[in-house]
Amino acid sequence: MSVKNLSLKIWLEITLTCFVLQSAVMAQCDSGYVDINGNCYWEQDIQFLNDLIANSNLNIGPLDLGTQTWTNGRLTYFYTVDSDLIGEVPVSIGNLNELTYFYSYGNKFTG
């Protein structure tokens, strides 16, 4: 085998390996879920967190708000104390049908 063919073969193997590794790292989310950092989260649960953040003019990502537990991509536990949350509780809270614990203290909700 010539050096040129060997180099091409090695290059193809490296490229294929990188593609396989990249595909394994990237999450492939089902419909209704959104990929954040390689994990799948229920889009409506994320929307609720984003609504809280937007209402309060905070500059953080949805996964950085309070203490959260996620089960199978669903928000099941949400604890937010003194998180500078203000304004109305978003209507999107009604979409959190897997949430079993929600504790908020020291925030300034209205409505």
Place of tokens 């949430």: 99
User: What are the sequence ranges of the domains in the chain?
Assistant: 30-110
Mean pLDDT of 83-110: 95
- Report the chain's mean pLDDT, rounded to a whole number: 88
User: What pLDDT, in 10s, does the model give residues 23-44?
Assistant: 445 559 999 999 999 999 999 9
53, 79 Cβ separation under 8 angstroms: no
Residue 37: both structure tokens together: 């950092």
Q: In the structure, what pLDDT confidence band is assigned to residue 22 with cuts at 50, 70 and 90?
A: low
What is this structure's pTM? 0.75
Instruction: Name the CA dihedral angle for 70, 73, 96, 102, rounded to a multiple of 10 degrees.
Output: 0
